[in-house]
Chains A and B, each alone.
Chain A
C-alpha cells in the first residue's frame, strides 16, 4: 500500500493538466473508511483516504476509478463531469469480514479468537416477520428461536442452551450500542399455562427495515466486555446510517403478506358422535314410596340406547319423555351417534331470542367445525427512509408503519416506528452523533393463552361438542350481541357453564395494549492522536406500557376489568478509550479501557375490579362490584457499574491474541459481596498464511477461555412481608413464599471454546466449526424446598449447569458462471445440557408445574428441562403392561404409575439446523430456507384432554374387527363378539405375554384421555422440518433504471412458514408454546401456525 501511494505521488506529478476529483469513501454504516485505496484503472496512479475517509485524486474524464478496501467489495466508477465522487463500499462476505463486537468495537473478523456469526439486514427485512426476531430462525448456528405462535406473541431467544437454572436465559439485544430490554411482561400464570395474554417480547420493537446487519456473539469471551448481562450471548444490531453523498437517498419498501392457517396444525374432528361423556344421563321423573328417585330410563317406553345420551322432557304431557335435549353442560363428544332422523332440542332451540326456539333439529355434526373461525390474516409493512450527508454530516430519517390483522376476529397489532440518526464533525477530530427511535405499538385482541376460557383453542382442542356449528354460533352472537353459548347450565338456565360463545370471547372479552418506546444514544468521539481516541456515550431505552383486560358481564368467568401500567428504563453511561498502534512493522497493539455506569428503573402497577362489574361493557375501575383491592405495585432501581480493559496484540496479520478484564459493582447483591471481577483470553492463528495454496484459500484456528460473573435482580437479599387486603378492619401480612439470602455471592460462567475455519478453492467451499464447553457455577437460584420449611423456595448460590456443544457452518457455491450462481449455507448446532448439581440434598428443581400433573424440571445428572409425569408400568421386556382385569372402563387400559414424577421427556432438541439455498440467474434470485429441529419433547394438554373428550377423528374409526371402536366390547377375552367395539392396546399382560384384552373406547374414560392414560402418552417428539422462508426476487436492471429516476428497485414474492415437511406432534405446530422464558415443552390451547405469502417491493432513488 505504501508502495502504491509512493507510485501514485510520482504519477500525480507527471500529469498536471488533469482535473482534481475529491470525495469520501465510507462503509455500509456511513462511517469513513480510513486508508481505502483509489487507483485509476490501467495505471499505477492512485491515492488513499485520510482519517475522515476523504481523498483527492487527479484524473481525466472517462477514467475508471477503482475503489478498494480490505474486507469490502471493489467498486469501479467512471469519472464524469462532476468533480466529486462519493462512494460507499459494501462488505464482501466472501472475503474477510469486519464485524461489530462487544461495545460496538469494529474488528477484522480474522483477528477474533472466538466465534461470531453475521446476518445481513436483508435477510430479516426482505421476508419480514412482524417480530424480526423470528426471522433469525435457522440462520445462526446455536441460536434457538421459538415463537409462541400467537398474534404478537413472544419469541424465546436462547444462545447455546440455557445457562441459568432459574434466571434469565434470553440473549441480550444491543442496537448501536444501546442495550435493549427483551423482557416480556407476561404474568406467571400466563407463563405456566394457567391463562392470560402473551404481550410479546420487547425486542420485537426493533424495526427490521432499520437493520443494516446483525452479529451474534455466542460465548463468554466474545461478550465479556458487556459484563454480566451478556452471559447469555449478545445479538448485536447495527442500524442503517446516512452516507456522505450528493443529494438525497430515498428508499421505499412495501411488503404485504397474507396468512392462512396451516391445516396440519389444527385438529381433525370426528363427524360421527355428538355431545356427552358417555351414556350417563338419567332423568328423574318422580319419587317412589321409599323416597328413591324414579328414572325415565328405567321405564318401559324408554330406549336406553338413545335416552341415556340425552336429557329428556315430557313436553306434551303424555307420560313419555320423548323430547330429547342435548346434555348442554357436557363439553365432550362421547355422546349419541349422529342420526339425521333423530330430532333433538339443541342449543339453538333453547334461546327465545333465536328463530329456532323450541324446534328440535336433526342430530348431526355441525356443518362448520371450529376451524371455521380462522380467516385470512394480513401483515402490511410500509417504510420510507431518506438519508444523505454533507462534507461534515450524515443523517438518516426512517418511518415504518406496520399493520397486522390476526387470523381470529377482532385481533390486530399496529406499530409505527420513527427513527433518526445523524452525525456531525464538530472539528476535524471531534464527531458528535445521535440516534433516536420512537416506537408506538397498539395491540387489540391478542389471543388468550393457556387453560382459560378466554383462550378459544381450549374449547376447540379440548372441550367441544361436535354437533355444534360454529358458524351458527357466530350468527347467533352477531344477531343478538349476547353470549349465546352451546354450553349452558341447563335447557332452562342459559348461563354459560364452562365455555362461552367463541365470538363473544373475540368481541367482548378482549384485551388492548399499547407501548410507547424511546431508545437511542448520544455520543462524542474524539481523536486524541493518530492512535488514540475517546468515546463518551449516553444510551437510553425507556418504554411505558398499558395493558387492559376485559371480561364482560355474562361470561363464564367473573366479569372483570384490569389495567397494568409498566415503566421500564435503562440508562448507560460509557466512556471508552480506544488505541491502535503499530509497535513495529509487524506488531500491532490495540485495545480499549472504559467504564460503564448502568441504571435500570422498573415500576409497575396492576389494578383490577373486584367481584365483577356492575354495568356491562363499561371498563373502568370504578365499575367494580365490590370495593377494589389495593393495586399491586412494584418499584425498583438497579445500579451496575463497571470498569474494563481489553488489550489485543496482532503479529503480521498472522497471529492474534487478546485479553479482557472487567470489574463490576452490582446493587442487587449484598454490600459485602457486591463487587466482582472476571476476564477472558482469546487467540487465533491464520495458518493459511504459512501454506498458501490454490486449494486452501483461508485457514484459521482459534481458542479462548472466558469467565463472566453475574449478579441478580433487586430484592433478593432482605426478607420482607407481603401485605394483604385487611380482614375485619385489621391489617394482614404474611411471610413471603421465598426466603431471601443475606449472603448471596455473584454467580459465574466459565467457558472455553475452540474453533477451526477453512475456506477452499477461492472460497467456493468452506466451513467454520466450533466446540464450546460452558460451566455455570454458584447459580443464584430460588431452590424449591420442602414446604414444611414454611417456604416454597430458598434463594441460594446453588447449582452447576453445563452446556457443551458443537456448531458447524458450512458454505458452498456449487455453481458459479457469469449469469448463474448457486450458493448454499448450512448451520448446524448441537447443545448438550447437563445439570451437574443443585443445592445439597436437593434432587430436583421444578421449573414449572402444570395442569395435567406434569412438571418441567432440572435434576442433577439430567438435562435442563426434563418433563416429569406419570408413565406406563413396563414389563422387564420393555413393553407397557395392560390391565387384564377391572371395571369395564379399566380393563384393557394401560397400567399407569402411581407417582407423577417419572421422567417422561426432555425438552432439549438433539440438534438444530438451517439450510439456505440461493440461486441467482441474471436479475433473478431464488432463496429458500429449511429449518430443522431433531428431537426435543413437548407435552400436550390439548391431546391429554381432547383424546378423552373424543373430538379427534381417530376416536371414531373402526377396529380390526371392522366394527366402530365406540361400540361396547362384547364377549370375553379370547372370545369377543363379532360386533365388539373397543381396541386391543399394544402391550403385554403382567406375565409378559402379548396383550389380548380389549379396552372399551365408548366413553371419556378411554385409554387415550386423561382419565386412563399415562402422561407419557401425550409427550411428543417436537422435532420438525419446515420450509421456513422462500423468496423470488427480481432486481430491476440498471439499463432500465437509467431511464427512470431510480437507482435501485426490486420486487420479491415472499413466503414464511410455507410447509411443515415433517413433524410428530399431532394436530399442532411443534414450536407452539406458552411464552418466552424458561418454561418450554408444554402446549395448552395452542395456536396453529400461519402460512404467510406476499410480496415485497423496494425502490431507491
Chain B
C-alpha cells in the first residue's frame, strides 16, 4: 500500500514537470498577435490621427473652444481654459505619440523588414507613413512648443529630452524634402483610406504640408520659409477640394465621426455656437451660417452664447446639422487652407506678388463655400466687409479672419490661424476672464514622470504657461 501511494504520487509529480518551452508557451497570449501586417498598424494610426484632430470630446480636444467657434452650456470649465481638471493636454499628447506616431514607426519597421516587398514598394509605403508622421510632429510642436523628438518613441529612453521647436521644424522640412521623391504608385492602396494609394494625391498632400511648414516660419526664418514655400508650390500643392486629405467615417461606432459621438450619441447638450463666431458671421451676413448653425431661434436668427459663460442651451444658436452626422468626414488639410497660405505667399512675394493675393483669397473662400455646399459665394465676395480690396485691416486681418471662418470643422487650424494672423479679436472667457491660450501647457504627467527634462523645456520656452507664445508666433 505504502509503495503504491508513493509511486502514484511520484508519477503525478513527474508527469507535471514540463519543459521550459511549455512554461514559456503559457506566456504567449493566444488572443493577441505578436506580429501584424503593416497595413493594420497603418490603418490604425491614420484613424487615430483623424479621430484626435476631429474630436470635440472635452477630455481630448477642445480646439473648437480655443478657436471660440463653440462654447459650452452648463459645464464651462474647458471653455474657461481649465486644462488640468480633465488632463486635456495629456490626452492630446498621448493620442498623438502613442496611437499615431508609434504605430506609424512600427508600420515603417514592418514594411522595411518585409521580405515579400520590392524596394520600390517599401519606399513608397514608408513615404506615406513618413508624411503622416511629419504632419503629426508639426501638430505636437504647434500645440506645445518644445517636445521630445529625437529621443522620443525609443524603448530604451524612458526620460526623453525635449528638443528645440525651431530645430524640430528645420528637421521636419528636411524630412519632407527627403520623402517627397519617394512617393510613388507602390504605396498602401486598399489600406490607404485617405487617397486609396493615389501617388499624385499624396504628392500634393506632402507639398501642401510642406507649404504649411514654410508658412509658419515666415515671421521667424524668412529664408527657410521662402525656399520651403516656393519649392512646395512649384512641385504642386492642392488645386481643388478634390485634393483634400479627408477620411470618410462610417455609420456605426467606433468608426463614426467622433463629433457625432459627443453631439448625438451622448444625448447631451454641451455645446452651442459661441458669440465670437456668430457675431462675426452676423456682421458679414455670412451664408455659411445656414450650414454651420441650426436655426433653432427662428429662421435667420443666430445668437451665439457669450463665450465661456453659463449659457442656457435653448436660448442660443445650436450647432448645424452637418456636425450631427455620423459620416461627416474628418479633414487633415484642405484646399481652402492651402489657398489662404498662398495669400500670404503672394503678399510676401514668395510665390507671385501681392497682386495675386486677392485671387487666392477668393479661391480660398470659394473652396470653403464649395466644401460645405453653400451657395451665394458671389454676393459674399462682393460684400464690402469681405472683398479683399474693401475689407477692413491689412492682409493679415482679412485673410486671417476669413481663414478662421473657413476652418469651422478644423478647430485646431482655426485657433492656429488666430495665433498666426492675430485676427479676429477673440473674447476673454467669461467666468475665468482668461485670454485665449497660445499653447497647451505640458501634460501633468510629464511633470511627474520626466521632471528634469520638463523643467528644462519649460524654462527654455519661457515658462510652461497657457500664454507663452510659440517660436513662430512672434506678433
Contact = CB atoms under 8 A, between A and B. Distances in A.
B158 A789 contact: yes
5 contacts: A284-B315, A715-B27, A724-B254, A739-B155, A901-B444
Contacts of A311: 312, 314-315
A731 to B, nearest CB: 5
A556 B154 contact: no
B102 A725 contact: no
A815 to B, nearest CB: 55
A784 B267 CA distance: 34
A430 B37 CA distance: 61
B314 A490 contact: yes
A732 B314 contact: no
Interface in A112-135: none
B9 to A, nearest CB: 5
Given A724-B44, A733-B36, A785-B450, 15 more contacts: A489-B314, A595-B13, A667-B27, A674-B20, A718-B28, A721-B33, A732-B47, A734-B103, A786-B148, A787-B94, A794-B155, A840-B158, A857-B448, A859-B448, A900-B444
Nearest to A725: B254
B27 A789 contact: no
A557 B18 CA distance: 50
Interface residues of B, number: 105
B24 A728 contact: no
Contacts of A734: 41, 44-45, 48, 99, 103
B145 to A, nearest CB: 14
Given A291-B282, A735-B41, A900-B444, A789 B73 contact: no
A497 B32 CA distance: 39
Interface in A582-596: 595
Contacts of A638: 26
Given A280-B312, A573-B16, A634-B31, A846 B445 contact: yes
A957 interface: no
Contact of B252 (A595, A627, A729): A627
A691 interface: no
Contacts of A629: 253-254
A625 B310 CA distance: 34
B377 interface: no
A280 B310 contact: yes
Interface stretch (B122-130, B207-215, B296-304): B296-304
A667 B26 contact: yes
A932 interface: no
Contact of A287 (B73, B303, B453): B303
A326 to B, nearest CB: 12
A901 B447 contact: yes
Interface string B70-100: 0001100100000011110010011001110
B56 to A, nearest CB: 17
B254 to A, nearest CB: 6
5 smallest A-B Cβ distances: which pairs? A626-B252, A790-B102, A733-B40, A788-B148, A720-B32
Given A639-B23, A717-B27, A844-B449, A497 B265 contact: no
Contacts of A852: 85
A881 B448 CA distance: 25
A846 B254 contact: no
Looking at chain A's contact residues, the main secondary structure is loop
B20 A277 contact: no
Nearest to A492: B314
B462 to A, nearest CB: 15
Nearest to A426: B1
Contacts of A558: 265-267
Interface string A993-1019: 000000000001100001100000000
Nearest to A886: B433
B288 to A, nearest CB: 15
A575 B17 CA distance: 14
A430 B6 CA distance: 13
A96 interface: no
Interface in A353-376: none
Contacts of B445: 784, 786-787, 846, 849
Contacts of B9: 534, 536, 575
Nearest to A666: B23
A contact residues, range: 35 or more
Interface in A669-717: 669-671, 674, 714-717
Interface stretch (A252-260, A327-335, A385-393, A469-477): A327-335
A721 B431 contact: no
Given A496-B267, A788-B153, A715 B29 contact: yes
Interface string A549-583: 00000001110000000000000010100000000
Most buried by A among B32, B41, B73, B452: B32
B193 A791 contact: no
A576 B334 CA distance: 74
Contacts of A784: 445, 448-449
A281 interface: yes
Contact of A728 (B16, B43, B450): B43
Interface in A220-254: none
A287 B301 contact: yes
A788 B311 contact: no
A842 interface: yes
Interface in A470-493: 489-491, 493
B337 to A, nearest CB: 24
Contacts of A1004: 310
A788 B85 contact: no
A293 interface: yes
A950 B255 CA distance: 40
Interface in B418-457: 431, 433, 443-453
B34 interface: yes
A840 B157 CA distance: 11
Contacts of B314: 311, 329, 489-491, 493
Contacts of A528: 2
A569 B42 CA distance: 39
Contacts of B2: 526, 528
B160 A788 contact: yes
A721 B34 contact: yes
B158 A785 contact: yes
Interface string B446-474: 11111111000000000000000000000
A669 B102 CA distance: 26
Interface in A491-536: 491, 493, 495-498, 524, 526, 528, 534, 536
B431 A889 contact: yes
Interface string A717-750: 1111111110111111111110100000000000
Nearest to B30: A635
Interface in B202-238: none
A674 to B, nearest CB: 6
A732 B250 CA distance: 15
A901 B451 CA distance: 12
A277 B303 contact: no
A727 B330 CA distance: 14
A792 interface: yes
Contacts of B449: 784-786, 842-844
Interface string B243-279: 0000010111111000000000111110000000000
A638 B27 CA distance: 8
A176 interface: no
B5 to A, nearest CB: 6
A329 B8 CA distance: 73
A668 to B, nearest CB: 6
B313 interface: yes
